[in-house]
Amino acid sequence: MTPAVSTTGLTRRFGDFTAVEDVNLSVAPGQFFGFLGPNGAGKSTTIKMLTGLLAPTSGSIEILGLDAATNPIEVKRQIGVVPEGLALFGRLTAAEYLRFVGRMYGLDRATTADRTHELLDFMNLAAEPKKLITDFSHGMQKKLALAAAVIHGPKILFLDEPFEGVDAIAAGTLKNMLQRMIARGATIFLTSHVLEIVERLCSHIAIIDRGRLIAQGSLEELRAGTKPLHTTPNGPSSPQHLTLEEIFVQIVGTQQIPSEPTTAVLPPPKELSWLG
Ligand SMILES: Nc1ncnc2c1ncn2[C@@H]1O[C@H](COP(=O)(O)OP(=O)(O)OP(=O)(O)O)[C@@H](O)[C@H]1O
């Protein structure tokens, strides 16, 4: 089966510093994929390259079998992105912003209006229609960024630290949306430095440390430590027979694994029939 995302020898240097080195990732369609690693490991740099925001120094990226370097427009049609900095337009209202994004993706006016309405409702952002995005809380901005990332019904969604600074209720709404997309066959690639988030949501995981991929596999394989973990040929020694937590503690060098916001409260299910 053609992978949803695959990279070969993906490398990014900033001057003399190598932020991402020889990363070979493979994400199958329909996977909820967690890209885990401590601060500064290279997660954002990798996701920026996967989404066309940053050019690799070397190596290649394929999205749904398309070479990302030679098919940038087609790739952008198939993906949605919530980047680290959210990249919203602060002087617009949420509805104005979603309408703008929908039209940018080539949706017709009626479809854009319908989806804008549905998404604002789903994300509980419909109560203050005149409020400017700049006056939104961080959690509201994250929800809006996710709404904008899915308005065109992408097959793959990339999220850089989607739960960072988000309260339990907003986190519940975000998770609800992501699980809905997975149920409809979409692929999700999220970065996090929080083991708990990745363990709870993701079916497959890769772990990056100091720019190098040190593990990749299904959650069960990595948790059990029964299957040798994938390592890059010249990478660090294979962390075999360790649980995911032990691997992560080894990387981060502390038992103080950051914890997720408290239990999520899911809003009642609503229909977003075009999603996924
Ligand atoms: N534009 C840049 N110029 C120079 N160095 C950079 C640049 N962008 C990232 N880096 C460096 O590359 C390394 C990886 O950064 P990156 O943001 O990818 O890490 P991360 O895993 O996403 O970390 P965090 O969890 O803290 O967001 C860091 O040492 C960072 O300082």
SS (H, E, C) 146-214: HHHHHCCCCCEEEEECCCCCCCHHHHHHHHHHHHHHHHCCCEEEEEECCHHHHHHHCCEEEEEECCEEE
Q: How far is the CA of 120 from the centre of ligand 1 (A)?
A: 33
**Lowest model confidence (mean pLDDT) among 4-8, 93-97, 196-200:** 196-200
Q: How far is the CA of 145 from the centre of ligand 1 (A)?
A: 22
Q: How far is the CA of 56 from the centre of ligand 1 (A)?
A: 14
- Residue 236 pLDDT greater than 50, yes or no: no
User: Letter for the amino acid at 114?
Assistant: D
> Which pLDDT belongs to residue 230?
45
> Which pLDDT belongs to residue 227?
43
- Residue 228 pLDDT greater than 50, yes or no: no
Ligand 1 in reach of 37 Cβ (< 6 A):
yes
Superfamily of domain 5-87+153-252: P-loop containing nucleotide triphosphate hydrolases (3.40.50.300)
> Which pLDDT belongs to residue 237?
44
- Residue 130 pLDDT greater than 70, yes or no: yes
Q: Between residues 276 and 250, which one has the greater pLDDT? A: 250
Contacts of 232 (CB under 8 A, 6+ apart): 22, 23, 24, 212, 213
Q: Whose CA is nearest to atom 3 of ligand 1?
A: 14
- Residue 112 pLDDT greater than 90, yes or no: yes
Q: How much of the chain, in percent, has pLDDT values that exceed 90?
A: 59
Ligand 1 in reach of 193 Cβ (< 6 A):
yes
What's the mean pLDDT in 212-216? Answer: 93
Best CA proximity match to 217, nearest among 193, 243, 194: 243
> Which pLDDT belongs to residue 167?
83
How remote is the C-alpha of 177 from its chain's centroid? Answer: 13
- Banded model confidence at residue 235, pLDDT cuts 50, 70, 90: very low
Q: Between residues 107 and 87, which one has the greater pLDDT? A: 107
> Which pLDDT belongs to residue 264?
45
What's the mean pLDDT in 96-108? Answer: 94
Task: Please give the number of the atom of ligand 1 that sits closest to the Cα of 41.
Answer: 21
Tokens for 62? 């394929």
- Banded model confidence at residue 169, pLDDT cuts 50, 70, 90: confident
Q: Would you say the ipTM is above 0.90? A: yes
What's the mean pLDDT in 42-51? Answer: 96
Q: How far is the CA of 65 from the centre of ligand 1 (A)?
A: 28
